[in-house]
Structures are given as structure tokens and as C-alpha cells.
């Protein structure tokens, strides 16, 4: 067996002690097998009542503390976590499964493999439902959309991102889909322009609020949205389709 990056995996057939370094995967594991989750990062905010040891952040995990938890498996992600930390864990003999996800189909296949081969668990109900929802053809075009992720300076979702793929599969035309960078800088005038139909303002990584974000736009309507629905793969995929799809109203 190999993880998404092709690294061999020889951990136990069924994982019973898991540390997650990815907030979305933490939620997914907690929904499915909370008793198996023995550690998570400070950024792992869902479920809200999750009570497990914290191992610092996604970019600076406490490698020694993770090893002391004696996990069967540590789950990580290529974008969220540093290769250096993955290597240090493996050097301590800790099995690590790294996911790589930039599209919705990648998310579905990666989660399937992680559950089946890495964790040794049956496919959860939420994943089966996500397969059904996201396998359907995209709805009719709903307009041109921009999704900022930061302000001062403004940055937006660009090319080769999971968020961009979600938007397009929800029927939106993603304005910066062909940008050279995954998260390019942009001038406000490039966002607040007549050929953009909607600006989606998520609450992460920048916490846009009703008082911080919408007031900058004079030409384009804005909509505050949970960043979790746009960026988290796992149970949030089901909620994203339910709450942001064309049938959500």
C-alpha cells in the first residue's frame, strides 16, 4: 500500500490510535471513529466538543508529543503540512499517511483509499453520500464568482485548488481559475468589477464578517460563507453541496 504521494505504508491493518494534522480529516475521523482519535492540532476546531491532546499547529506540530502518543497512524496533507515534519515523524518510526487533494474527485478517491487502506475502516455514510452528490454533472451556470481569502493585501483563490474546483462543480464560473498562482494577490479593482456576479467572503483563513469585507465592494454583491464549506473535505463536502448548491435557495 502507498499513500497519495507514493510512500509505502506498512502500518496495522486496522488503526485504533490516530493523530490528525489536518482539520478537515480530524472532523472526518471524529465523526466516524472518535474513539480512535488520540491527538489533533490546535486548528482542529470541529467537532467543537472534541477533547483530545493538542500537538500544536499544522505547520509546527510537536513531533515528540506526537510520537509519545504512540499512534498507529498520523494523517497529513501535502498542502497543509510540511515535508520536514512528516520526515521527522517517520524517522521516529511513526507511520504517516499523506493525502494530496486539489479537486473534488481527488478528495473522494483519496478519502476512499485512506479509509480502506490506511485506516482499515469501512466507507462511512457521509463519504458514500458525498460520492452520490458530487458525481452528478455540474448545474447550469450560476454566474462569475470571486473568492478572496485575505485582505490588505487582497488575495484570492486561484488555479489548481480544491476550493476552485468546488465552486466550478457548484455551477459557478471561477474568475481566477486560470491564474498563474494558486492564491494570487489582486487589486480590489480586479475583484469589484462589472463582469463579476458575486464575491464570496469566507470566515477563514481571513475572518471576513458583516463589518469587515462587504463594505469594500461597491459594484458586486457579496455573500458571507463558512470557509469550512469551501475548503474542508470530509463531512463538510455533504454540507457544502446541501447549503451552497443551486437547490439551497
The β-bridge partners of 150 are 155
Mean pLDDT of 57-77: 97
Give the residue with greater pLDDT, 15 vs 247: 15
Task: Please report the DSSP string for the chain in residue order.
Answer: -B-TT--B----SS-SSEEE-SHHHHHHHHHHHGGGEEEE-TT---STT----B---SSS--HHHHHHT--SEEEEETTTS-HHHHHHHHHTT--EEEE--SSHHHHHHHHHHIIIIII--PPPHHHHHHHHHHTSPP-S---EEE-EEETTTTEE--SS-HHHHHHHHTT-EETTTT-SSSS-B--HHHHSSTT--EEEEESSSS--BTTBSGGG-SSS-EEEE-HHHHH--SHHHHHHHHHHSGGG-
Asked, colleague to colleague, whether 18-133 and 144-248 share their fold, the answer is yes
Query: Residue 249: which pLDDT band, with cuts at 50, 70 and 90?
Result: low
Res 162 pLDDT > 90: yes
Mean pLDDT of 128-136: 93
Q: Which residue has cell 490506511?
A: 118
Fold of 144-248: Rossmann fold (3.40.50)
Res 49 pLDDT > 90: yes
Query: pTM, whole model, 2 decimals?
Result: 0.92
Query: Residue 139: which pLDDT band, with cuts at 50, 70 and 90?
Result: confident
- pLDDT tens-digit series, residues 230-241: 999 999 999 999
Cα separation, 161 vs 167, whole angstroms? 10
Q: Which CATH superfamily is domain 18-133 in?
A: Nitrogenase molybdenum iron protein domain (3.40.50.1980)
Q: What cell was used for 141?
A: 451556470
Query: Residue 248: which pLDDT band, with cuts at 50, 70 and 90?
Result: low
> Would you kindly state where each structural domain of the chain is located, as residue ranges?
18-133, 144-248
Query: Residue 60: which pLDDT band, with cuts at 50, 70 and 90?
Result: very high
Amino acid at each position: 500500500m502507498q499513500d497519495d504521494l507514493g510512500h509505502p505504508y506498512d502500518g496495522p491493518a486496522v488503526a485504533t490510535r490516530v493523530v490528525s494534522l489536518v482539520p478537515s480529516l480530524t472532523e472526518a475521523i471524529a465523526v466516524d471513529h472518535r474513539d480512535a482519535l488520540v491527538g489533533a492540532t490546535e486548528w482542529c476546531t470541529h467537532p467543537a466538543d472534541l477533547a483530545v491532546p493538542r500537538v500544536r499547529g499544522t505547520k509546527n506540530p510537536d513531533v515528540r508529543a506526537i510520537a509519545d502518543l504512540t499512534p498507529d497512524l498520523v494523517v497529513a496533507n501535502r498542502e497543509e503540512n510540511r515535508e520536514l515534519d512528516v520526515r521527522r515523524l517517520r524517522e521516529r518510526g511513526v507511520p504517516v499517511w499523506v493525502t494530496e487533494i486539489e479537486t473534488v474527485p481527488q478528495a473522494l478517491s483519496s478519502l476512499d483509499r485512506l479509509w480502506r487502506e490506511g485506516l482499515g475502516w469501512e466507507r462511512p455514510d457521509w463519504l458514500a453520500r458525498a460520492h452520490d452528490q458530487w458525481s452528478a454533472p455540474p448545474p447550469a451556470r450560476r454566474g462569475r464568482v470571486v473568492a478572496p481569502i485575505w485582505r490588505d493585501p487582497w488575495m484570492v483563490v486561484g488555479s489548481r485548488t480544491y476550493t476552485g474546483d468546488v465552486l466550478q462543480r457548484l455551477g459557478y464560473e471561477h474568475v481566477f481559475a486560470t491564474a498563474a498562482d494558486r492564491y494570487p494577490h489582486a487589486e480590489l479593482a480586479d475583484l469589484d468589477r462589472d463582469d463579476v456576479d458575486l464575491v464570496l467572503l469566507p470566515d477563514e483563513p481571513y475572518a471576513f464578517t458583516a463589518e469587515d469585507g462587504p463594505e469594500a465592494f461597491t459594484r458586486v454583491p457579496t455573500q458571507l460563507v463558512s470557509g469550512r464549506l469551501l475548503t474542508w473535505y470530509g463531512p463538510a463536502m455533504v454540507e457544502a453541496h446541501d447549503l451552497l448548491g443551486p437547490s439551497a435557495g
